[in-house]
Structure 1
Amino acid sequence: MRKPVLTCCALLFGSLLPVLAGASELYRYTDEKGTTVLSRQGVPPEHIARGYEVLNSQGRVVRVVPPAPSAEEMQEILAEKARAKSDGQLLRLYSNLDDVERARERKMAELDSLIGVARGNLQSARVHQGNLQGQAAEHERAGRQVPEHLLAQIENQKAEQERLKADIERYRQARTEADAAFDADRDRLKVLLDRRQ
């Protein structure tokens, strides 16, 4: 019968130990007026961002919680994390500077091929439009009305040519941007590889 009572007392005392131990801690923080405050209750939520210290019963600092970073510091931290992630990806992608040049050559060849195909299609569209306009001219010379479907086909060929010109311009722009990106990758990789040596 005594065992259960002792067990309950031991459990109760054990659960109170952290509370008793915590009661001997003091929290030192600065309030909104710049006054240093010592408290056994903890740090109010509105003051946590400024940072605080936890002191033991002898008044010694046992833990320091630094202030939260400012918006500018947070931007710098996030930028540094992004840079580190980007650097890691770059090192996984390329083991040396020659890898960058090979990748550049492949990308440029791919974009040049797309430009070449679009130019070929543009030339075909121009020829097709010329043929359709020739048919329309034959109708006019014969004194007949040009059929609506023929006029629609001519307009479609004009629109197709404009689309292909836009594609060619987009591919050229992509080529310029890719070239600049490979330059940046090469320069950054050189810095990273130099740091390793």
Structure 2
Amino acid sequence: MARQGRFRKVLMVMSLLAWPAAASELYRYTNDQGVLVLDRHGVPAQFIGKGYEVLNSQGRVIRVVPPALSAEQYQRLQDEKAQAEADTKLLRLYAGVADVDRARQRKLAELDGLIRIAQGNQQAARNQQNALQAQAAGQERAGRPVPETLLTQIAELEREHQRLHKDIERYQRAQRDAEKTFADDRARIAALLGEG
């Protein structure tokens, strides 16, 4: 109990010693009428966003609080930060324009290979479907009912054909996107490194 009382007294003495130092600070700001104001009590809330200065007892500026950024300034700052991060990432990936060109060629060759494989699989599915349809037609010509398993296989091959068609379209979109991305990356690397 005595310890707590002593601790409180120490805190009170320390706060009293700190009070004159804090009280000796002046705040300089501009009010709504454009008048420069000096105030010992701080800056009113409505003027904080305009920025202010803190002065010591001799009138020297010890701290400057800049004005708050406008929405446009804030957005520009965010855009510049995002561009700097993107540039850093690009410079880690590519040492020059030639690296971008090589990466582009690799990516496009990879997508080209995927398209050729899907087209080959699509053609194989179509050939198999045609053969099964010929069997079904033979069954009908002979006056026999077409087995349900044969119809199921034909329908599955048609779904496979459609799925492969969508895959090919997706790979072709990826090629177009890659072309644009690599062109943008190439232009940015050239600008950053001064290459042509």
Q: Same fold (TM over 0.5)?
A: yes
Instruction: Give, in whole Å, the separation in 2 of the partners of 1:9 and 1:150.
Output: 96
Instruction: Give, in whole Å, the separation in 2 of the partners of 1:58 and 1:90.
Output: 51
Give the match's secondary structure for 1:87.
helix
Gaps of 5+ in 2: 1-7
Instruction: Give, in whole Å, the separation in 2 of the partners of 1:10 and 1:115.
Output: 79
Give the match's secondary structure for 2:194.
helix
Instruction: Give, in whole Å, the separation in 1 of the partners of 2:91 and 2:30.
Output: 45
Which has the higher mean CA deviation after the structures are superposed, 166-175 or 10-19? 10-19
Shift, 1:50, TM fit: 2.5
Alignment match, 1:160: 160
Alignment match, 1:140: 140
Give the match's secondary structure for 1:145.
coil
Shift, 1:78, TM fit: 0.7
Aligned residues: 188
Instruction: Give, in whole Å, the separation in 1 of the partners of 2:47 and 2:156.
Output: 68
Residues 149 and 30 of structure 1: is their aligned pair in 2 closer, same or farther, counting only changes over 3 Å? farther
Shift, 1:61, TM fit: 2.9
Give the match's secondary structure for 2:62.
strand
Which has the higher mean CA deviation after the structures are superposed, 144-153 or 104-113? 144-153
Instruction: Give, in whole Å, the separation in 2 of the partners of 1:44 and 1:150.
Output: 85
Residues 42 and 148 of structure 1: is their aligned pair in 2 closer, same or farther, counting only changes over 3 Å? farther
Alignment match, 1:189: 189
Residues 29 and 147 of structure 1: is their aligned pair in 2 closer, same or farther, counting only changes over 3 Å? farther
Alignment match, 2:81: 81
Alignment match, 1:69: 69
Which has the higher mean CA deviation after the structures are superposed, 144-153 or 16-25? 144-153
Report the residue type matching 2:50 in the other structure.
R
Residues 126 and 9 of structure 1: is their aligned pair in 2 closer, same or farther, counting only changes over 3 Å? closer
Give the match's secondary structure for 1:28.
strand
Instruction: Give, in whole Å, the separation in 2 of the partners of 1:79 and 1:10.
Output: 51
Give the match's secondary structure for 1:64.
strand
Shift, 1:72, TM fit: 1.1
Residues 163 and 46 of structure 1: is their aligned pair in 2 closer, same or farther, counting only changes over 3 Å? farther
Percent identity, aligned pairs only, is 56
Alignment match, 1:53: 53
The yes-or-no answer on 1:174 pairing with 2:194 is no
Report the residue type matching 2:64 in the other structure.
V
Q: TM-score, normalised by structure 2?
A: 0.83
Alignment match, 2:97: 97
Alignment match, 1:130: 130
Which has the higher mean CA deviation after the structures are superposed, 11-20 or 45-54? 11-20
Report the residue type matching 2:122 in the other structure.
L
Shift, 1:92, TM fit: 1.0
Gaps of 5+ in 1: 1-7
